[in-house]
Amino acid sequence: MLAILINSIIILIFAAHYLLFNLIFFQNMEMAKTKLLIVTHEMSPFLELTKISEITRQLPQAMQEKGFEIRILMPKFGNINERRNRLHEVIRLSGMNIIIDDNDNPLIIKVASIPAARMQVYFLDNEEYFQRKQVFRDASGKFFDDNDERTIFFCKGALETVKKLGWAPDIVHCHGWMSSLVPAYIKTTYKNDPTFKNSRVVYSVYEDGFTEKLNADFAKKAVMANMTEADTKAFEPSDINSMHIGAVTHADAVVLGDENLDKDVLKFVKDSNKPTLAYNLTENFENFYTFYEEISNDELVSVA
């Protein structure tokens, strides 16, 4: 009887050790997940303007299936239907003010889920900047005069939202010109912030853009704390090329999202010698996975 009792105790001890080992193993696996932040102005099914919307819908899901932890941020433009997409405000994240040109602008955060992908998308809202029926141009096709401030608000607000989430991304992937200030902010104002100090920043260059210019004071307005005007000088022309070049200047790596990009932008990317994922590779999400892994492991190589 004693022998049976001892054997039972031994079996229980081994079982407890086994369970503890597995618990620690899976906790470490969870902790080791690469954290990927997607910053974009459009994403299917919420807003579909260009091919960016499909890439920003498919790419994060593909990476999530590879074991990445995902967060997605985009503006809550007025033509995004809140009821149909089941958006609701996140009270604990809302209530911040974003300062632009000495003016306080309230930031409201809303969230929606994509059940099929088990992903959440955070929307940045502001009544003055985003509650319009159009996105970048009015009903007559005129480029909004305050698109510069809308861009600054979105980029500042995105980073402050991630800070408030208490979630430190390993990789921040910015898609399109409206996210172009994010690399500059992460590498200057936020470079020592615990949330972003270890983040690698990727910028995707697309054909999407505009033929007009943003406000002439855009670069000056964009300056944040611990920055100088030199940090935003690349944005000074305030045209679409300068938006891309300014982003590439501060990014760690670049993705060529279209085949026919402006030759001056392509030359700048090439001369920067930064790791670059070529256009003919961007359709394969396996290549994104490899690219991200190389970047996060400091094995920065170009595959252009």
Residue with tokens 């490899």: 290
Q: Closest Cα partner for 182 from 37, 43, 19?
A: 37
Residue 19 confidence (pLDDT) above 70:
no
Q: Could you state, in order of their start, the residue ranges of all structural domains in the chain? A: 1-31, 33-296
Rounded distance, CA 121 to CA 161, Å? Answer: 12
Q: What is the pLDDT of residues 107-161, one digit of tens each?
A: 999 999 987 888 999 999 999 999 999 999 999 999 999 999 999 999 999 999 9
Q: How confident is the model at residue 298 (pLDDT cuts 50, 70, 90)?
A: low
Q: What is the pLDDT of residues 182-204, one digit of tens each?
A: 999 999 999 999 999 999 999 99
Q: Supply the pTM of this predicted model.
A: 0.87
pLDDT of residue 28: 41
Q: How confident is the model at residue 2 (pLDDT cuts 50, 70, 90)?
A: low
Rounded distance, CA 97 to CA 302, Å? Answer: 39
Residue 30 confidence (pLDDT) above 60:
no
Instruction: Decide if 186 contacts 250 (C-beta within 8 A).
Output: yes
Query: Regarding the domain delimited by 33-296, which CATH topology (the fold level of the hierarchy) does it fall under?
Result: Rossmann fold (3.40.50)
Q: How confident is the model at residue 101 (pLDDT cuts 50, 70, 90)?
A: confident
Q: How confident is the model at residue 284 (pLDDT cuts 50, 70, 90)?
A: confident
User: Among the residues of 134-284, which ranges form H helices?
Assistant: 147-165, 181-186, 218-221, 240-250, 263-272
